[in-house]
Amino acid sequence: MDRRYTETIKINNVNMGSKHPVVIQSMTNTPTADIEASIKQIKELEDAGSELIRLTVNDYEAMEAIPKIAETLRSDGYTAPLIGDFHYNGHILLAKYPESARYLDKYRINPGNVGKKDKHDSNFSQMIEIALKNDKPVRIGVNGGSLDQELLTELMTKNAAEADPKDAQEIFAEAMIQSALRSAAFARKIGMPKNKLILSVKMSDVQHMVDVYQKLAERCDYALHLGLTEAGSSMKGVAASSAALAILLQQGIGDTIRISLTPEPGKSRAEEVNACKALLQSMGLRFFMPMVTSCPGCGRTNSDKFVYLAQDITNYIEQNMKTWKQKYPGVETLTIAVMGCVVNGPGESKQADIGISLPGSSEAPSIPVYQDGDLLTVLKGDDIKDQFITILNTYIEKRYSLVKTPS
């Protein structure tokens, strides 16, 4: 069942909602006041495929940097909408720097830290009014680590007085949901249209996060931004985020996603964008580049030739994708199999658009190549990679070329 938002939310050139693909979002980790470093990283994220880019806006210097960052990016041809991430002092910054407020394309407000008691409502409404004046969408981003403590205490106290009190985790989830829904209702009361609001309820535990989003999706029809917050680094972060996001996306929940990875020294921030692309493509929700299916190898193969071939083909695709995207529309849906032996090699190769099945340890040294399910040729010799790349290029040219070559 598709529970995505049925209208369209427009954030400059990006459309969000059930009629559009799930949007990929990322966030910089440079100090926003460091204009040069921020611009460099935003370009890196957009080049990798991030469609929305969020920046911390935590002080005067960060807010002052926004116009320069946005102007430079736009004049250099970068178009991804820029989102200001506000905590504690967003109402002050947005009011004090109207020009920067206009340059930002969307605001993120965390209702857990816009102020306490009577300050909460006035600070929150001040930000919503500025968003309305500038015609900007807003994400109400609730986070398990900064949940509105007054609301949590209110619900916990009420629960404790019940004859049969619920589990504390259940109340925590309810507080997350109520924080998002009450804030959205308040924003709507001030005048914010529904198609300018996006909600999120991020948590760091996979099961809790899935549960809270499922409940939120059942109780509202707002656009939802998905993310497992504080997911961790590298393999653990990607695995945990993919597990959580895949369950929800499969249930038709989520209009935009971010995979929040703890940065690894020396690695690009764009890893989080690549992880989002890999997740969406693995689920068949979006296509970014031809997918290489390769087997893990086992004792049936005594050489790592197919491992290198799979890597070489992946590298070849990455190197050529920019040109292919212009020349060969639809090439991103191509599937390629690179397999290690006769057990699954021919089968997987036939299912792919193009597949190559290298011989296992006890097999004859001939290498069948399949195209559209049929045996195309059998390769021999030492230049298998070059021969296979030639076949691949011919196939792509024939199938995806804008100007069809005569058959």
Answer for which of 81, 227, 297, 355 binds ligand SF4 (CB under 6 A) is: 297
Q: Which is nearer to ligand SF4, 344 or 387 (CB)?
A: 344
Distances (CA, A) of 1 to 18, 217, 249: 12, 11, 10
Q: Which is nearer to ligand SF4, 23 or 341 (CB)?
A: 341
The residue type found at 155 is L
Q: Which is nearer to ligand SF4, 94 or 291 (CB)?
A: 291
Beta strand ranges found along 203-283 (DSSP E) = 223-228, 256-259
Smallest gap from residue 355 Cβ to ligand SF4 (A): 11
Strand order in the sheet with 291-294: 291-294, 335-339, 354-357, 367-371, 374-379
Query: What angle in degrees, to the nearest 10, is found between the helix axes of 206-219 and 168-190?
Result: 40
Q: Which is nearer to ligand SF4, 254 or 345 (CB)?
A: 345
Answer for which of 9, 203, 341, 356 binds ligand SF4 (CB under 6 A) is: 341
The residue type found at 230 is E
Binding segment for ligand SF4 among 65-73, 128-136, 161-169, 291-299 (CB under 6 A)? Answer: 291-299
Q: Total residues at the site for ligand SF4 (CB under 6 A)? A: 13
Q: Which is nearer to ligand SF4, 195 or 344 (CB)?
A: 344
Binding segment for ligand SF4 among 24-32, 64-72, 341-349, 396-404 (CB under 6 A)? Answer: 341-349
Name the one residue in this structure whose structure tokens are 């369209």.
8
Smallest gap from residue 314 Cβ to ligand SF4 (A): 17
295 binds ligand SF4 (CB under 6 A): yes
Smallest gap from residue 301 Cβ to ligand SF4 (A): 4
Answer for which of 265, 266, 296, 381 binds ligand SF4 (CB under 6 A) is: 296
Answer for which of 190, 344, 363, 385 binds ligand SF4 (CB under 6 A) is: 344
274 binds ligand SF4 (CB under 6 A): no
Name the one residue in this structure whose structure tokens are 């460099």.
40
Structure tokens at 33: 């006041």
Smallest gap from residue 358 Cβ to ligand SF4 (A): 8
84 binds ligand SF4 (CB under 6 A): no
Buried b / exposed e along 60-83 (16+ C-beta atoms within 10 A): eebbbbbbebbebbeeeebebbbb
Q: Which is nearer to ligand SF4, 319 or 361 (CB)?
A: 361
Element (H, E) at 138: strand 138-143
343 binds ligand SF4 (CB under 6 A): yes
Shortest CA distance to 262 belongs to which of 275, 246, 247, 281?
275
Structure tokens at 293: 């299916």
Q: Which is nearer to ligand SF4, 111 or 360 (CB)?
A: 360
Long-range contacts of 303-310 (CB under 8 A, 24+ apart): 303/361, 305/358, 305/384, 306/338, 306/339, 306/340, 306/358, 307/340, 308/385, 309/338, 309/356, 309/358, 309/384, 309/385, 309/388, 310/338
Answer for which of 300, 305, 350, 399 binds ligand SF4 (CB under 6 A) is: 300
Answer for which of 144, 340, 355, 359 binds ligand SF4 (CB under 6 A) is: 340
List 198's β-bridge partners, or say none.
139, 223
Answer for which of 339, 354, 356, 396 binds ligand SF4 (CB under 6 A) is: 339
365 binds ligand SF4 (CB under 6 A): no
HSE, CB side, 13 Å, CA atoms: give it for residue 306: 29
Structure tokens at 93: 């910054």
List 15's β-bridge partners, or say none.
10
279 binds ligand SF4 (CB under 6 A): no
Q: Which is nearer to ligand SF4, 341 or 392 (CB)?
A: 341
338 binds ligand SF4 (CB under 6 A): no
Rule CB under 6 A: which residues touch ligand SF4?
295-298, 300-301, 339-341, 343-345, 360
